[in-house]
Amino acid sequence: MFKHSVMTVAIAAAFALPLSAGAAESPELAAIRAQIQEMKQSYEARLQALEQRLQDAQAAVAEAQNAAASAQQANAPAAPAAPAPAAPTTAAAGDNSFNPSISLVLGGTFSNLSQDPSTYRFGGFMPPVGEVGPGSRSFNLGESELTMAANIDPMFAGQLTFALTGENEASVEEAFVRTRELGGGTNVKAGRFLSGVGYLNAQHSHTWDFVDAPLAYQAFFGGQYKPDGVQVRWLAPFNTFLEVGAEVGSGRSFPGNDRNKNGFNATSVFAHAGDDIGDSASWRAGLSYLRTGAADRAYEFDGIPNAFSGKSSIWMADAVYKWAPNGNPTRTNFKLQGEYMRRKESGTLAAGELADAYASTQSGWYLQGVYQFMPNWRAGLRFDRLSSGTPFIGLVDSGALGMDAFPALVRYKPQRSSVMLDWSPSEFSRLRLQFARDEARPGQTDNQVYLQYIMSLGAHAGHTF
Amino acid sequence: MRTLTKSVSNKLLAAGALALSLALPAQAAINVLTCEPEWAALTTELAGDKASVSSATNALQDPHRVEARPGLIARTRNADLLVCTGLDLEAGWLPLLVQQSGNAKIAKGQPGYFEAGSFVPRLDVPAKLDRAEGDVHAFGNPHVHLNPHNIALISAQLAKRLAAIDPANAAYYAARQADFAGRWSQAMRKWETQAAPLRGLTLVEHHRNMEYLMSWLGMRQVGTLEPKPGVEPSAAQLGQLLAQLQQQPAKLVLRAAYQDERASNWLSQRAHIPAVVVPFTVGADKESGDLFALFDTTVQRLTQAVK
């Protein structure tokens, strides 16, 4: 037996070794070589077996950790596809494990305003409904946002965001359900949500780079456009970002109002495109269109009540450019964003008992840049401008009333310049100082100083681009 | 003679099949998006040209802080398989990408989502979760790839996942995995021999992202430049660390290529210890072009520094 194997090995060795060496070697030498070879092989096999055992043991530890983690939290990392270990601990999770994740944003400001905030208005514009103006003087509790979100089932996820105001009011900022796995680049949302029009509109106020919304957002949307309705978004299957979306809504949000009407009372469509420029920069640009309407949208100015009924449509163009060296925004980064909005309203304008045709084309834009010059510190500059144009007012045109009956609509171009400096010790907290020179009221300049804190607690969702 | 005809006809068949496969549109390679470059390198080892692989981040990016950029959303939309570390490393951006992409294949829990970190034993699983402790990872330290034994574990699982996603090439992935595993275990033995002098070495690291490397090579950390995970070092805190090193000396200060050099250079000069940069992941420098080179370079830089 031994001899036989020695022979085979010797033959094998003779073939394997260079001919000259093979010819010169004695059988003993060949046998020694063969033994060494055999030992090497068995050593190799044992090493491999040991390594396999080690790997198996490690995999078992990983699985035990997964089980422990999923017992602790409902939204644990997806369990590996491997057969689940017989770990009874997973069943021990309490009732809380399916609770929605909760996040809370606390905000507050200290304001110093040189003009009486109760007289705030946009010269040439009908006063919008919503969060408009610089707020109150001195200490103000900002909106505290309470968000709860969770997956509902494999198909749906849901989210509710309350805004608790300093005036002890609770309002529903967002409350929507969305699809999770429609696939094909499609996402559908239903409920109340931040509309996808424009750039800033879809972002919660705590992520804004300035204390307040741009003037155009305040004048045309009353802060932000949040329809009650349905949104469909579709992302095209290209390597360049191209997204289109459409929304239908009740039309109750400004510039619309409750018209006691069935059907889709507000519709909007939007398209966004974007891409990266090398590793360091990215851009996104978009076009949006919103069409809604109002019935007896009333406002009062200087004690004179007016009401608008008719169609309201808004075109928006938005663009944002972000730069961070090699895609690392932690140390320094820069962001430039701007939006242009143009609103057309046509219908009738009522003044007391009288009413006649009304048409206006008004526009507004802002441009802002924010630079993080060192870790945690950012500085920003923003310029806002609105243009009221001269509206066509039938009652004035026909001579029934003078322009003095519509003092709010006298042509004006409100503008504002703001600078800000903020410090964010972590991604969960931010302190901000902002100074603005606001010329929204005709002939008056309001110097506004704000100190603001924004803190976020609990689960913290990532921020959109 | 018969065997000859047989072999000729076999060759003809093979040539025909080859011509056919060239003429027909190539079997669409599966589209793999990885969160970090090390997983792109591993997927390429296992899938070869059967997958078109790209990484969402490059080697000089901090994987914790990445923006959900439009280009990334577009790439996520077209992925058949997403290979990420998981363990909340990408919590700030990946969920957004997956949600906005509207790609149902790669949602958490689907076969298209591969979480590498869940297949290896984790270090630093926190006993208590409190943001006062900084940017804490609830599921343990996520930087698992710097222990090559973890790569071996993950590679076996990833090959299985590739086969599940693309069953037509299952045998191909299994063969490549077997080949990779063989070369990898040989390389590990080589690295472990080379790195033997590093056993017991004490060091200071920038962020707690070298734990798996240290546990593999038997090194020990005596301080971090970051006072708390995710919090940038300040001058006062660095001063404290320097004082602390008087009691507990460290042999070197270690950072990843993507991390800012200033804090580590500051400490290096004052504590008179070398500042060592390791690539941390594939592609950080020209000596770290693939997974083997990554560990070759890492072991070499460390052993040179303590010579």
* B178 at interface of A, judged by CB pairs closer than 8 A: no
Task: Decide if B7 is inside a domain.
Answer: no
Task: Decide if A170 is inside a domain.
Answer: no
What three-state secondary structure class fits A20?
helix
**Mutate which of A55, A61, A152, A277 to test chain B, going by most B C-beta atoms within 10 A?**
A55
Helix (H) or strand (E) holding A308: strand A304-323
Residues B63 and B162 in one domain: yes
Please give the structure tokens belonging to residue B31: 């589209």
Task: Decide if B8 is inside a domain.
Answer: no
Distance separating alpha carbons of residues A271 and A284, to the nearest angstrom: 10
Task: Decide if A19 is inside a domain.
Answer: no
Please indicate whether, in this complex, the C-beta atoms of A62 and B160 are within 8 angstroms of each other: no
Range of the domain at A320: 115-138+182-447
* B126 at interface of A, judged by CB pairs closer than 8 A: no
Cα nearest neighbour of B95 on chain A: A462
Look up the pTM and report it. Answer: 0.82
As a whole number, the mean pLDDT across chain A is 87
Please indicate whether, in this complex, the C-beta atoms of A58 and B121 are within 8 angstroms of each other: yes
Among B151, B171, B191, where does a domain finish?
B191
* Rounded mean pLDDT, B30-51: 95
Task: Decide if B4 is inside a domain.
Answer: no
Chain A stretch 232-271, residues whose beta carbon is closer than 8 A to a beta carbon of chain B: 233-242
Q: What is the pLDDT of residue A94?
A: 59
Q: What is the pLDDT of residue A15?
A: 47
Residues B39 and B107 in one domain: yes
Q: What is the pLDDT of residue B197?
A: 92
Task: Decide if A390 is inside a domain.
Answer: yes
Task: Decide if B6 is inside a domain.
Answer: no
Cα nearest neighbour of B100 on chain A: A187
* B118 at interface of A, judged by CB pairs closer than 8 A: yes
* A204 at interface of B, judged by CB pairs closer than 8 A: no
Q: What is the pLDDT of residue B137?
A: 78
Three-point CA angle B85, B87, B89, nearest 5°: 70
* A372 at interface of B, judged by CB pairs closer than 8 A: no
Cα nearest neighbour of A47 on chain B: B185
Provide the Cα torsion B292, B297, B298, B304; round to 10°.
140
* Rounded mean pLDDT, A136-148: 91
Task: Decide if B18 is inside a domain.
Answer: no
Q: pLDDT, tens digit, for every residue of A365-391?
A: 999 999 999 988 999 999 999 999 999
CB contact set of A106 (below 8 Å; sequence gap of 6+): A144, A453, A454, A455, A456, A457
Residues B167 and B217 in one domain: no
Instruction: Name the more confident of A76 and A193.
Output: A193
Looking at A126-265, which runs of residues are DSSP E strands?
Answer: 138-141, 144-151, 156-164, 170-179, 186-192, 228-235, 241-249
Residues B184 and B231 in one domain: no
Please indicate whether, in this complex, the C-beta atoms of A62 and B68 are within 8 angstroms of each other: no
**Mutate which of B73, B123, B144, B150 to test chain A, going by most A C-beta atoms within 10 A?**
B73
Q: pLDDT, tens digit, for every residue of B64-86?
A: 888 889 999 999 999 999 999 99
Q: pLDDT, tens digit, for every residue of A412-429?
A: 999 999 999 999 988 889
Residues B152 and B216 in one domain: no
Contact call for residues A259 and A293 (beta carbons, < 8 A): yes
Q: What is the pLDDT of residue B10?
A: 53
Q: What is the pLDDT of residue A412?
A: 95
Range of the domain at B264: 196-305
Residues B58 and B124 in one domain: yes
Query: Chain A contacts of B125, Cβ < 8 Å?
Result: 65, 69
Please give the structure tokens belonging to residue B13: 């068949």
Please indicate whether, in this complex, the C-beta atoms of A66 and B70 are within 8 angstroms of each other: no
Please indicate whether, in this complex, the C-beta atoms of A327 and B103 are within 8 angstroms of each other: no
Instruction: Kindly report which listed range (A433-437, B13-17, B181-185, B295-299) carries the lowest average pLDDT score.
Output: B13-17
Closest CA to A200 of A319, A329, A363: A319
Q: How close does chain B come to A183, measured CA to CA in Å?
A: 4
Task: Decide if A387 is inside a domain.
Answer: yes
Q: pLDDT, tens digit, for every residue of B231-275?
A: 778 888 889 999 998 888 999 999 999 988 888 999 999 999 999
Distance separating alpha carbons of residues B297 and B291, to the nearest angstrom: 10
* Rounded mean pLDDT, A264-276: 95
DSSP A366-433: EEEEEEEEETTEEEEEEEEEEE----EEHHHHTTSS-GGG-GGGS----EEEEEEEEEEEETTEEEEE
Q: How close does chain A come to B9, measured CA to CA in Å?
A: 31
Q: What is the pLDDT of residue A86?
A: 35
pLDDT band at A5 (very low <50, low <70, confident <90, very high): low
CATH number at residue B98: 3.40.50.1980
Task: Decide if A294 is inside a domain.
Answer: yes
Q: How close does chain B come to A274, measured CA to CA in Å?
A: 5
Q: What is the pLDDT of residue B28?
A: 63
What three-state secondary structure class fits A132?
coil
Query: Is the predicted pLDDT of residue B186 greater than 50, yes or no?
Result: yes
> Residue A428 is nearest to which of B131, B152, B232, comparing CB atoms?
B131
Please indicate whether, in this complex, the C-beta atoms of B74 and A242 are within 8 angstroms of each other: yes
* B69 at interface of A, judged by CB pairs closer than 8 A: yes
Task: Decide if B149 is inside a domain.
Answer: yes
Residues B118 and B244 in one domain: no
Residues B152 and B254 in one domain: no
Q: How close does chain A come to B19, measured CA to CA in Å?
A: 30
* B103 at interface of A, judged by CB pairs closer than 8 A: yes
Phi, psi angles (nearest 5°) of residue A347: 165, -135
* A207 at interface of B, judged by CB pairs closer than 8 A: no
> Residue B65 is nearest to which of A242, A329, A376, comparing CB atoms?
A329
Please indicate whether, in this complex, the C-beta atoms of B71 and A276 are within 8 angstroms of each other: yes
Which residues is B113 bridged to in the sheet?
B82
Task: Decide if B19 is inside a domain.
Answer: no
Please indicate whether, in this complex, the C-beta atoms of B102 and A240 are within 8 angstroms of each other: no
Q: pLDDT, tens digit, for every residue of A330-375?
A: 889 999 999 999 999 999 999 988 999 999 999 999 999 999 999 8
Task: Decide if B108 is inside a domain.
Answer: yes
Among B191, B218, B245, where does a domain finish?
B191
Please give the structure tokens belonging to residue A388: 């009221």
Residues B221 and B74 in one domain: no
Please indicate whether, in this complex, the C-beta atoms of B149 and A54 are within 8 angstroms of each other: yes
Please indicate whether, in this complex, the C-beta atoms of B61 and A326 are within 8 angstroms of each other: yes
Cα nearest neighbour of B79 on chain A: A237
Distance separating alpha carbons of residues B57 and B66, to the nearest angstrom: 8
Query: Chain B contacts of A81, Cβ < 8 Å?
Result: 111, 157, 160-161, 164
* Cross-sheet strand order for the sheet of B51-55: B51-55, B30-34, B81-84, B113-115
Q: What is the pLDDT of residue A61?
A: 87
Query: Is the predicted pLDDT of residue B124 greater than 90, yes or no?
Result: no
Q: What is the pLDDT of residue A131?
A: 85
> Residue B185 is nearest to which of A48, A69, A330, comparing CB atoms?
A48
Residues B145 and B52 in one domain: yes
Please indicate whether, in this complex, the C-beta atoms of A77 and B117 are within 8 angstroms of each other: yes
Cα nearest neighbour of B155 on chain A: A55
> Residue B68 is nearest to which of A48, A236, A464, comparing CB atoms?
A464
Task: Decide if A214 is inside a domain.
Answer: yes
Instruction: Kindly report which listed range (A63-77, A87-101, B120-134, B141-155) carries the lowest average pLDDT score.
Output: A87-101
Cα nearest neighbour of A235 on chain B: B101
Task: Decide if A408 is inside a domain.
Answer: yes
Distance separating alpha carbons of residues A251 and B209, to the nearest angstrom: 51
Residues B38 and B187 in one domain: yes
Q: How close does chain A come to B231, measured CA to CA in Å?
A: 7
Domain count, chain B: 2
Instruction: Name the more confident of A51 and B120.
Output: B120
Instruction: Kindly report which listed range (A178-192, A219-233, A451-465, B6-20) carries the lowest average pLDDT score.
Output: B6-20
Task: Decide if A35 is inside a domain.
Answer: no
Query: Is the predicted pLDDT of residue A16 greater than 70, yes or no?
Result: no
Q: How close does chain B come to A138, measured CA to CA in Å?
A: 30
Distance separating alpha carbons of residues B91 and B74, to the nearest angstrom: 19
Cα nearest neighbour of A328 on chain B: B61
Alpha carbon distances (Å) from A264 to A195, A260, A270, B74:
15, 11, 17, 31
Residues B242 and B94 in one domain: no
**Mutate which of A72, A328, A423, A460 to test chain B, going by most B C-beta atoms within 10 A?**
A328
Please indicate whether, in this complex, the C-beta atoms of B122 and A65 are within 8 angstroms of each other: yes
Q: How close does chain B come to A91, measured CA to CA in Å?
A: 19
Provide the Cα torsion A164, A168, A171, A173; round to 10°.
-30
Work out the percent of chain B whose per-residue pLDDT is above 70: 90
Please indicate whether, in this complex, the C-beta atoms of A81 and B70 are within 8 angstroms of each other: no
Q: What is the pLDDT of residue B265?
A: 92
pLDDT band at A47 (very low <50, low <70, confident <90, very high): confident
Chain B stretch 29-58, residues whose beta carbon is closer than 8 A to a beta carbon of chain A: 57-58
Domain count, chain A: 1
Among B191, B214, B236, where does a domain finish?
B191
CA A23 to chain centre: 79
